[in-house]
Structure 1
């Protein structure tokens, strides 16, 4: 009898991971889907030069925010949140609000080597911020419902403010060679030119990993 139990533990049913997903986990995955589709749309623009692909890339990210908002509500409503759901949420957020905004910036013209260094820094800050949250959330002060009282550093979805700004520039036809601030050349032939606009990503990333900046959680 005991051997049958051990055998069952080491031979789980097919698709056991998916079968154990809660509804909130499925909603979280939809956030990730929106992020991946946004990245693909930015990549398509690099090939097609069709502005509709840029609009698609920008449109998927707010939908990702909607699913990010809803998964926590559904988890609390059904009282079935899990550690798996927490990890899923962080990974989906990294794609939708870290990688996708960086890919959009590259697509609209921030493509120099220094630009990519700053965009990489931004994504890495998002990784560090989410990892810190997962590592410390168990010890963070909570209200009566078990919800964390505040964020340390800006939440990664605030990167949608950058996306909104870039969307405005695209609508004003100020992208690619017409980006505000143009491109600064720091050294002739040295490959050190960059777009000053990319520095907003550096600021956003730095605010995400701030330890002293505390923002009340709504």
Structure 2
């Protein structure tokens, strides 16, 4: 058989080309619960941007805006599951969206807020990175094991293994209280404002201006003790022995 005949035979037996998907097909596939979940992700992104703006402008107004984004994210995270059950809709896409939005709002964002409040020593960064990795591992473990976890009659998981990642709202509340009472960012208070709103970071983040001060672990390696609340939170998230009933 000639080469031309062989090529013709291949073209005849090959599958027809797949038609292009409809425009905005992914957006059209979103359920109402998925849109609520995206609201959680929006809150996390805004928190990061407000925190960076606070560092640039040295203004606590942006920092408090960043703080408020986290409870708003918790609200969206609370309602997306209830909307899914109300509409009797669930999907693998929705599960992945929920985990990614949670990681942004309750994993990365609280760590960046800690950095913005003054946890900027090298050992502080190690603890903050550990916290973020724990949140990532906790969400990945839940997605991988959710099918095998015990469920009630409605198909809802009976308990959490480790603390749920939205509990990092407690850390954000501690930071917000510290900024509000002048335990962080004291330069923003007119009583301590010697160089205007653009005071140097060295003045803003001296040990006296970071709640709890700092301790020296080794020469040249300091640590702010308050950052250890991130380490504790991360450890509780990845614990498999700690089982918390799901409401």
Say which SS state the counterpart of residue 222 (structure 2) adopts. Answer: coil
Measured on the aligned residues, the alpha-carbon RMSD in Å equals 1.4
What is the match of residue 212 of structure 1? 241
Q: 1:12 aligns with which of 11, 21, 42?
A: 21
CA–CA distance in structure 2, aligned partners of residues 180 and 108 of structure 1: 9
TM-score scaled by length of structure 2:
0.83
Q: 1:193 aligns with which of 222, 227, 239?
A: 222
Say which SS state the counterpart of residue 160 (structure 2) adopts. Answer: strand
What is the match of residue 120 of structure 1? 129
**Once the 2 structures are TM-superposed, how far is the Cα of residue 180 of structure 1 from its aligned partner?**
2.5
Say which SS state the counterpart of residue 193 (structure 1) adopts. Answer: strand
CA–CA distance in structure 2, aligned partners of residues 212 and 137 of structure 1: 16
What is the match of residue 45 of structure 2? 36
| Corresponding pairs, count | 212
TM-score scaled by length of structure 1:
0.94
After superposition, the C-alpha distances for 1:123-173 in whole angstroms (9 at most, x for unaligned) are: 000000000000000111111111100000000000000111111111110
CA–CA distance in structure 2, aligned partners of residues 69 and 108 of structure 1: 27
Larger Rg: 2
After superposition, the C-alpha distances for 1:54-100 in whole angstroms (9 at most, x for unaligned) are: 10010001000000011000001001110100000000000100111
**Once the 2 structures are TM-superposed, how far is the Cα of residue 5 of structure 1 from its aligned partner?**
8.5
**Once the 2 structures are TM-superposed, how far is the Cα of residue 184 of structure 1 from its aligned partner?**
1.2
Say which SS state the counterpart of residue 47 (structure 1) adopts. Answer: helix
Which runs of 5 or more residues in structure 2 are unaligned?
Answer: 1-13, 185-204
CA–CA distance in structure 2, aligned partners of residues 208 and 21 of structure 1: 29
CA–CA distance in structure 1, aligned partners of residues 228 and 122 of structure 2: 14
CA–CA distance in structure 2, aligned partners of residues 164 and 119 of structure 1: 17
CA–CA distance in structure 1, aligned partners of residues 91 and 15 of structure 2: 28
CA–CA distance in structure 2, aligned partners of residues 5 and 61 of structure 1: 49
When structure 1 is superposed on structure 2, of 14-23 and 207-216 the one drifting more is 14-23
